[in-house]
Amino acid sequence: MSKHFRIVIFALTALLLASCASKKEATANKATMTWQYEIEPTTGQATQGSILVKVWSYSGSKGVARTLAGKNAVHGVLFKGVAALNEQNARVPQQKPIVTDVNAEETHKEFLNEFFKDDGKYMKYVNFINNGIPAPGDIIKVGPRYKVGVRVSVAKDALRKEMEAAGIIKSLGAGF
Amino acid sequence: MKKIFLSIIFISSALLLFAQAKKPTIMVVPSDQWCIKNGYTQTIDIQGASTVIPDYQAALQNSTDLLMAISKINEMMTERGFPLKNLESSLKTLRDQAAEDAMLTGKEGGEVAETPIDKLKKVAKADIWMQLTYTVNQAGPKRSLSFNLQGLDAYTDKQIAGASGTSAQSFTTEVQILVEEAILSHIDLFNSQLQAHFDDMFTNGREIIVRIKTWDNIGYDLEEEFDGEMLSTIIEDWIADNTVQGRFNTSTVTENNMLFEQVRIPLEIEENGKVRAIDARRWVGMLRKYLRDNYSIESKLMMQGLGQAQLVIGAK
């Protein structure tokens, strides 16, 4: 009886922990879908056709915020663009958003939901610098949440081609 | 009967699908400032006044940096689905063509007909110029590169796209690397502006310039009245009726001259049941036909690329 009781307790605890984790993830995903993040330029080595950015994501858990960085970085390059960096030893010109149609997120909702789902196609265009581990000082406690900064490389040229193929944007020679 | 109807529908939709706007040609050239600064110029005499003009051939033959920069921009634009016209190849084609024309004689001993205007127009041409300027700045052992890329409409003289900036100072010694870095970092911004220009063209029509002139021996001018209307007013009304949303500016009107700027023409028209892509020449050709058919006025039509046309009233 006591053995059975222990198994039930163990199973319940495991279930509770799992539900807590998935709740955190669900909350984080919800936050992602409202796209609460900040994106800024950063310097370093990137392959041709890629852009290096630092994304600050928000979540109740440091780990989840870190994993959301990929989605946020791709979304930022697509819809927000990246400001210019003008420092003495590092200069990066402004990067305009790939998708300029302000209604595109609504018009292509179905495609974008599929694209940005967990382990969705967006993963193809993201490369985490330093394995996605934030630099010291890049995890900041903001009220009940964490603000976590992660450096990410986004393959912008390939991403643009994907958007062209999906009909979200036109190629430069389209219509001629 | 139903079959015939369906076939007509199919053919009409195919025609509509295949009618595409005329694609502008783009060519990268070094700016006049770059050519003068680097000594790639030639001086020519234009009616007694000596004028310094850029010598593109000398620049391409001597500057590896320039050749590399042009090649990199061409590569990036091809990758974006918009291959460019190459300056070096265009100059070579012009030379080959000139040599061929000089040697060409027909069986009857005739030579290729060429008017002074034909000779004048034998230069490298593009609808949009991508004008490139770069300067290497030296600060002690460190170098930086100031870079400027301008997209200029060859007909309206408007800057339709641009990207410029100065790179961070570094110990890099090779100019080629600095130039390549600058192109890679700026080309996206340039292309996004170029795309905006094309989008505007698809929405509001192609912007062109139209010039109307008169021959001096025809015995009348643009102030002559036809059916109670001045010829200049007849022309202006036709332009108002045939532009996209009536958009155009009448910049100059005299008895012998008219200049219309910011004239927005449709990219395609329907003619005899077929959809045709049109440019300035074809559009002004419609005006020529209108004047001939309605007022028995003959005129000579001359073109300059997709965006500029001239009609000389009075005779062909």
Q: Are A78 and A159 in contact (CB under 8 A)?
A: yes
Whole-number pLDDT of residue B15: 43
Task: Choose the mutation target among B198, B201, B203, B206 for the interface with A, i.e. most A CBs under 10 Å.
Answer: B198
What are the tens digits of pLDDT across the range B50-103?
Answer: 888 899 999 999 999 999 999 999 999 998 889 999 999 998 998 888 888 888
The CB density around residue A13, as the number of other CB atoms within 10 Å, is: 10
Averaged pLDDT for residues B303-307? 86
CATH of range B26-85+126-202; options 3.90.79, 3.30.160, 1.25.40, 3.30.310 = 3.30.160
Residue spans per domain, chain A:
2-165
**Contact yes or no for B169 and A89 at CB 8 A:** yes
pLDDT of amino acid B20: 74
Residues of chain B in contact with residue A165, where contact means CB-CB under 8 angstroms, are: none
Residue B10: pLDDT above 50?
no
Contacts of A100 in chain B (CB under 8 A): 192, 195-196
* A173 inside 8 A of chain B by CB: yes
Share of chain B above pLDDT 90, in %: 57
Is the CB of B166 inside 8 Å of chain A's CB atoms? Answer: yes
Q: Do B184 and A95 touch (CB under 8 A)?
A: no
Percent of residues, chain B, with pLDDT higher than 70: 91
The sign one gets for the Cα dihedral B206, B119, B125, B52 is negative
ipTM of the complex: 0.73
The residues in A 96-155 lying below 8 A from B, measured between CB atoms, are: 96, 100
Q: Which residues contact B67 (CB under 8 A, 6 or more apart)?
A: B60, B88
- A158: contact with B, CB 8 A cutoff: no
Test mutation, B79, B183, B275, chain A, max A CBs within 10 A? B79
pLDDT exceeds 70 at position B4: no
Burial class (CB in 10 A: 0-12, 13-18, 19+), A119: exposed
- CB distance from A175 to chain B under 8 Å? yes
The region of weakest confidence among A13-17, B7-11, B38-42 is: B7-11
Write down the domain spans for chain B: 26-85+126-202, 206-313
What are B159-168's pLDDT values in tens digits?
999 999 888 8
Per-residue confidence (pLDDT) for residue B33, from 0 to 100? 94
pLDDT digits over B234-252, tens only? Answer: 999 999 999 999 999 999 9
As a whole number of angstroms, the distance between CA B310 and CA B268 comes to 20
Q: pLDDT tier at A27 (50, 70, 90 boundaries)?
A: low
Q: Which of B21, B168, B189 sits opposite A96 (nearest CB)?
A: B189
The residue to which tokens 């996004």 are assigned: B192
Nearest to A90 among B24, B81, B168 (CB): B168
Which of the four pLDDT bands, split at 50, 70 and 90, describes residue B2?
A: low
d(CA B73, CA A144): 49
Mean pLDDT estimate for chain B:
87
pLDDT-wise least confident of A164-173, B9-18, B144-153: B9-18
